[in-house]
Amino acid sequence: MASMSVKHAIAAAKKLRSLQERFNPGGSDIYPALMGDEAITALIPSGNPLSVHILMFTRALREQGTDEQYEKFGRRADNNEIIGTFAQTELGHGTYLRGLEARADYDRGTEEFVLNTPKLSSYKWWPGGLGQTCNYCIFVAQLYIDNEAKGMAMFVVQIRDEETHMPLPGVHVGEIGKKMGLNGVNNGFLGLKDYRVPRLNMLMRHQQVLPDGRFVKSPVSQVSYFPMVFVRCMVARQNSNYLAQAATIATRYSVIRRQSPIEEGQPEPKILEHLTQQMKVIPEIVTAVVYRLAAANLQNMYNETAEAVYRKDFSRLPELHALACILKVATSYDSTYGIERLRQACGGHGYLTAGNLGNIFAMAAPACTYEGENSVLYLQVGKILMKNWSQVLAGRELMPSMAYISECSKMTSFPQWTGSWECLLKAIQYACVGSIRLAFQSYNARVQSAQSQTAAVNYSGLELTKAAELHGRSYVAGNFYQQIVNSPNKHQRSPQFQKVLENMLELHLIQIFFRHLGDILRFIRITEDEISALQRRLEEVLKELRPDAVAITDAFDFNDKILSSALGCYDGNVYERLFEAALKHPLNRKSVPDFFEAHLKPFMKENADNAKKSKL
Ligand SMILES: CC(C)(COP(=O)(O)OP(=O)(O)OC[C@H]1O[C@@H](n2cnc3c(N)ncnc32)[C@H](O)[C@@H]1OP(=O)(O)O)[C@@H](O)C(=O)NCCC(=O)NCCSC(=O)CCCC(=O)O
Ligand SMILES: Cc1cc2nc3c(=O)[nH]c(=O)nc-3n(C[C@H](O)[C@H](O)[C@H](O)COP(=O)(O)OP(=O)(O)OC[C@H]3O[C@@H](n4cnc5c(N)ncnc54)[C@H](O)[C@@H]3O)c2cc1C
């Protein structure tokens, strides 16, 4: 598995390099973006063992290293002369980075760092490609000078010989074992014992250790978390695409599969004519579109912020961090659960490997955990919302993505219910702001009753999580609304296309409204008639979008190789492909399997003999 993945990943890397040289010679960005792309990921079904090299190792060298360090390590990494990974998580700690136990002690006598993983729990555990593929890594450790902790730092560490690939002395490296999916990624473990690296192997763009051991602090300590921010943006994009892939498969299958007449005596319809099937499939298509747009916005914001950070302007970092967290959580949760709903929408065949929905699920699901476990990131956003609420109370302006919070805070009550898109969007935002206010009050009451701030965060965790979740909904829905209704290029769209987009907006807003009806009713009075009217609109818009479902998923433009699904091929020959896949199964190579003589026959014979004996 691992060797096939490495082979495919290298083939993809070479192809992309040649494309880069042809279309963007000298440019640096297109190649990593393409290598992390869902197309590549899909073409390596057991996972890309080079992805952490491309997404994190090369980026961290560029963004956290000085120019000289980039020349020494980064250029070779970008050129794939060395392959690395990002080794941060340990057996004992992934979330709580201040609890990491790997240590780097500065030895001013030799101007080296001595790296150690002193306990079993401090072994690095999980880094992608670490098991067998990489010969370098970025080793994240607590920095100590004269035994005094200075916080986290990153070190470039060679772990294998460049010629023989043998682990170097002092390095204990290996594979962590079989996983639910992504088994080609060879996620690894790493222990270091008194492993020395030169002083200039510590990445020093933002913080430095001088030869005499003086420590120069980073102007903003969180900048060392920046590699994670990038991958959170990538998760938003990749997971939207996994959902789009699954939605394409389920939609194509749903217009081929026929089952159960709707009217007595009528022929069996395509299953997509059943309203409940529409409700399983069409909202997922729309969710994929909505998230793709949000992820594209996030990516632009990342690019602008990364440029600024490179120039040591850190002012936009907090907003990017908040948005990257919330979109990473929203897209990973919604794609994971959405893909499972889509699998169920394909009935029994959805459970076959040939449909590929299991593998897409296995690719999407771990993003709920890696790069910041989702509940932990919800709490992180919840804390940021608390801070922003204090700003609101102090009459200060908020960051643009939270400006709606100030607006809603000024409303003494919710305006007259109209059911318009603006009204639905406002209802979601209003419920979010109400939840922020309640969480803030609970948190403050706890602090005032002598709880520490961190304990108060823990005990207000459910309310903080709710506020964060609704903030995600508000941001995503607000972004979609702007792009459909207020986009400057709206007038270049044909009326038919605009109508499809507006139907998607209608469905998205109503769907989110129903999902959070309980949260909304806590803050807004809505009558039963008003809710029933929305129910009718939901049924209507599903019907309206039904004829466009195939065209929208075709527009995602996944070719058959990427979908790798007997259920989701463009030509719709589902049954032929399912049969073809079944016939390829190794058990079908022989008419009589080996286990017949070895096990089954003696078992049945023994039973027959026993039965005969008991009759005698
Ligand atoms: C949970 C937190 C966010 C908490 O951090 P903390 O230091 O305890 O901080 P705190 O007191 O809550 O916050 C302190 C402050 O730091 C801010 N902050 C936190 N993270 C960032 C950031 N990324 N950018 C910018 N700012 C950040 C917070 O908002 C706080 O700000 P403030 O002081 O309140 O203004 C953090 O430790 C964390 O990110 N943990 C998750 C670890 C993680 O994501 N690991 C990823 C490993 S690599 C990986 O998984 C690769 C997979 C790739 C693949 O396979 O494709
Ligand atoms: C497929 C995959 C690839 C990975 N690749 C890499 C990689 O390349 N490099 C790397 O360094 N790491 C990698 N990781 C590790 C990953 O980043 C961590 O698993 C992740 O950050 C979560 O940390 P954890 O496993 O320690 O979970 P834990 O933090 O132990 O989480 C367990 C439970 O505890 C809860 N919890 C923890 N802290 C809190 C809190 N403060 N408040 C409330 N609840 C809390 C969580 O919500 C969760 O429910 C990878 C992981 C996976 C699954």
Separation CA 310–CA 308 (nearest Å): 5
What is the model's pLDDT at position 45? 81
Separation CA 263–CA 317 (nearest Å): 58
68 annotated active-site: no
Identify the weakest region by mean pLDDT among 27-41, 383-397, 455-469, 573-587.
Answer: 27-41
What is the model's pLDDT at position 70? 97
pTM of the model: 0.95
Query: Ligand 2 centroid vs 342 CA: distance in angstroms?
Result: 27
Give 494-518 as a DSSP string.
-HHHHHHHHHHHHHHHHHHHHHTHH
Q: Candidates 369, 462, 465: which one to mutate for ligand 2, based on the most atoms within 8 Å of Cβ?
A: 369
Stretch 48-66: mean pLDDT: 93
What is the model's pLDDT at position 509? 98
Query: Ligand 2 centroid vs 575 CA: distance in angstroms?
Result: 41
Separation CA 566–CA 574 (nearest Å): 6
Query: Ligand 1 centroid vs 155 CA: distance in angstroms?
Result: 19
Q: Candidates 124, 363, 370, 453: which one to mutate for ligand 2, based on the most atoms within 8 Å of Cβ?
A: 370
Helix (H, G, I), strand (E, B) or coil at 2: helix
Query: Cβ(232)–Cβ(325) under 8 Å?
Result: yes
Separation CA 41–CA 359 (nearest Å): 11
Closest approach atom of ligand 2 to CA 129? 8
What are the φ and ψ backbone dihedral angles of 54, each rounded to 5 degrees?
A: -75, -45
Ligand that comes closest to the CA of residue 317: 1
Query: Ligand 2 centroid vs 329 CA: distance in angstroms?
Result: 13
Task: Evaluate if residue 35 carries a pLDDT over 70.
Answer: no
- Tell which wins on pLDDT, 26 or 111: 111
Closest Cα to atom 56 of ligand 1: 52
Separation CA 574–CA 576 (nearest Å): 6
Stretch 509-518: mean pLDDT: 98
ipTM, 2 decimals? 0.98
Rounded to the nearest 10 degrees, the angle between the axes of helix 461-485 and helix 495-515 is 170
Instruction: Single out the catalytic residue among 371, 463, 469, 506.
Output: 371
Cα separation values, 474 from 385, 425, 426, 431, Å: 13, 7, 8, 9
Separation CA 309–CA 303 (nearest Å): 10
Question: What would the two tokens of residue 525 be?
Answer: 């009075």
Q: Candidates 232, 376, 452, 463: which one to mutate for ligand 2, based on the most atoms within 8 Å of Cβ?
A: 376
Separation CA 593–CA 542 (nearest Å): 49
Ligand that comes closest to the CA of residue 373: 2
Closest Cα to atom 18 of ligand 1: 222
SS (H, E, C) 11-38: HHHHHHHHHHHHHCCCCCCHHHHHHCCH
